[in-house]
């Protein structure tokens, strides 16, 4: 009888793409494994997971807002309904193991799995554990983490320090530079700045880049700009003033291996997935942590690199004044770029997805 695994969570690319990487590794280890994803209705996993070739079902679960809203009033009802639906999904699919990667849906699914006696594994991407994972970890069999020191949140004997799983195509991207230049329509003799704010965009980064387009143009750089959907039209209108074709804006880039391959310097938020990908891609990076992330975990993620001289830091509050100048200085400093590239590469964990998949298989009855 085929082994069956449920993977739950999502909400952002930082949860979704590690989950997909784990799923691919499980299939690689055992092609007969049946995998079902459970996400939150209306969230991006409902699009991204089927695109990756996996089945997903959605729960009506939502997060709690900071302010008093109708969603907060409805939260208890949606939580109860999601728990009921999660138990029904478990009864019908009959998984051998349930995996939680963080995000709204992981709570109801892993709680229902625990109540049903199904072994659970948590994959915590960040250097600061979220409330949901801290609660779920009490009954989890295994907790896979990406940063040292997670004993502050989880029982030490359950922890496996394995890193964050990322898309395997990001490895060995140096060989893809010629293909990447052709794909994005760039030229080889110009330095390229790749700006990304995560799957949903980053307003502070976007505004800072928009106000600095003339500086980048005068310096002769190419710009690959992932804006997120909310900002794409603003960005496209802004780069129309620079008709040379050296500035390209996208709401979302699926070919991230090519984006890293073409980049000389990357500007990024400090989400766990972005940091892990930058380590694998060995790219000189300027990190702009999102200051309102839970427990300011993006700053903690960034500092893990800064302490190793593996990236540069610009705070969100200083981005408007400092981001463009920092990028220009780094683009024009080959020694610093080489130093950052060497150091960030030392922090990579290229086999994280497979090692997590093997931990999942150990839990099979």
What CATH number does the domain containing 197 carry?
3.40.50.2000
Residues 244 and 228 both lie in one domain: yes
Question: Is 72 annotated as ligand-binding?
Answer: no
pLDDT at 306: 96
pLDDT at 320: 95
pLDDT at 110: 95
Whole-angstrom distance, CA of residue 304 vs CA of residue 302 = 5
Residues 117 and 209 both lie in one domain: no
Domain that holds residue 261: 169-345
> Tokens 């900071």, residue?
66
Q: What is the tally of structural domains in the chain?
A: 2
Residues 66 and 214 both lie in one domain: no
Q: Residues 171-195: what's their mean pLDDT?
A: 90
3-class DSSP assignment, residue 306: helix
Task: Write down the pTM of the prediction.
Answer: 0.83
Residues 217 and 337 both lie in one domain: yes
Q: Which residue has the higher pLDDT, 185 or 78?
A: 185
Residues 143 and 226 both lie in one domain: no
Residues 151 and 20 both lie in one domain: yes
Question: Residue 244: pLDDT above 60?
Answer: yes
Whole-angstrom distance, CA of residue 285 vs CA of residue 297 = 18
Question: Is 274 annotated as ligand-binding?
Answer: yes
- CB 209, CB 225: distance < 8 Å: yes
* Plot region of 74 (φ>0 → left; ψ -120 to 50 → alpha; else → beta): alpha
Q: Residues 155-173: what's their mean pLDDT?
A: 87
Question: Residue 66: pLDDT above 60?
Answer: no
Q: Residues 184-208: what's their mean pLDDT?
A: 89
Question: Is 32 annotated as ligand-binding?
Answer: no
What is the band of 60 on the pLDDT scale with cuts at 50, 70, 90? confident
Question: Is 55 annotated as ligand-binding?
Answer: no
Question: Is 179 annotated as ligand-binding?
Answer: no
- CB 103, CB 84: distance < 8 Å: no
Question: Is 12 annotated as ligand-binding?
Answer: yes
Q: Where are the alpha helices (DSSP H) in the chain?
A: 13-29, 45-51, 70-93, 106-115, 131-136, 177-184, 203-210, 213-219, 232-239, 256-262, 272-281, 297-306, 319-331, 334-345, 352-362
Question: Residue 67: pLDDT above 60?
Answer: no
Question: Is 126 annotated as ligand-binding?
Answer: yes
Question: Would you give the DSSP letter of residue 173?
Answer: G
Question: Is 341 annotated as ligand-binding?
Answer: no
Question: Is 190 annotated as ligand-binding?
Answer: no
Residues 81 and 142 both lie in one domain: yes
Residues 154 and 203 both lie in one domain: no
Whole-angstrom distance, CA of residue 68 vs CA of residue 193 = 41
Residues 194 and 87 both lie in one domain: no
240 CB-contact burial (10 Å; exposed 0-12 / middle 13-18 / buried 19+): exposed
Residues 261 and 226 both lie in one domain: yes
Residues 173 and 189 both lie in one domain: yes
pLDDT at 174: 66
Question: Residue 72: pLDDT above 90?
Answer: no
Question: Is 13 annotated as ligand-binding?
Answer: yes
190 CB-contact burial (10 Å; exposed 0-12 / middle 13-18 / buried 19+): middle
What is the band of 70 on the pLDDT scale with cuts at 50, 70, 90? low
pLDDT at 63: 60
Question: Is 120 annotated as ligand-binding?
Answer: no
Residues 291 and 231 both lie in one domain: yes
Torsion, Cα 352 357 359 365, to 10 degrees, reads 180
């Amino acid at each position: 009888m085929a082994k069956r695994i449920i993977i739950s969570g999502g909400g952002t690319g930082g949860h979704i793409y590690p989950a997909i990487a784990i799923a691919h590794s499980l299939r690689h280890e055992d092609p007969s494994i049946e995998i079902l994803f459970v996400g939150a209705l209306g969230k991006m996993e409902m699009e991204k997971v089927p695109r990756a070739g996996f089945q997903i079902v959605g729960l009506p679960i939502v997060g709690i807002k900071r302010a008093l809203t109708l969603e907060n009033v409805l939260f208890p009802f949606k939580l109860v309904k999601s728990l009921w639906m999660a138990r029904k999904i478990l009864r019908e699919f009959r998984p051998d193991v349930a995996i939680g990667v963080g995000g709204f849906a992981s709570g109801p699914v892993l709680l229902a799995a625990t109540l049903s006696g199904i072994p659970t594994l948590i994959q915590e991407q960040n250097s600061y554990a979220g409330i949901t994972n801290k609660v779920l970890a009490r009954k989890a069999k295994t907790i896979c983490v990406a940063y040292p020191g997670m004993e502050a949140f989880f029982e030490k004997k359950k922890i496996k320090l394995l890193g964050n799983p990322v898309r395997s195509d990001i490895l060995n991207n140096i060989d893809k530079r010629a293909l990447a230049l052709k794909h994005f329509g760039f030229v080889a003799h110009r330095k390229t700045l790749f700006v990304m704010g995560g799957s949903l965009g980053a307003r502070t980064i976007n505004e800072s880049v928009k106000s600095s387009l003339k500086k980048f143009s005068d310096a002769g750089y190419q710009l690959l700009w992932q804006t997120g959907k909310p900002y794409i039209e603003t960005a496209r209108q802004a780069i129309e003033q620079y008709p040379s074709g050296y500035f390209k804006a996208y709401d979302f880039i699926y070919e991230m291996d090519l984006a890293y391959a073409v980049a000389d310097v990357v500007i990024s938020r400090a989400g766990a997935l972005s940091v892990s990908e930058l380590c694998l891609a060995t790219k000189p990076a300027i990190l702009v942590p999102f200051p309102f992330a839970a427990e300011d975990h993006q700053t903690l993620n960034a500092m893990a690199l800064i302490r190793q001289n593996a990236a540069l830091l610009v705070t969100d509050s200083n981005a408007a004044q400092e981001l463009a100048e920092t990028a220009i200085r780094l683009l024009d400093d080959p020694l610093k770029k080489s130093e950052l590239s060497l150091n960030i590469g030392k922090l990579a964990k290229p086999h994280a997805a497979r090692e997590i998949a093997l931990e999942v298989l150990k839990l099979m009855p």
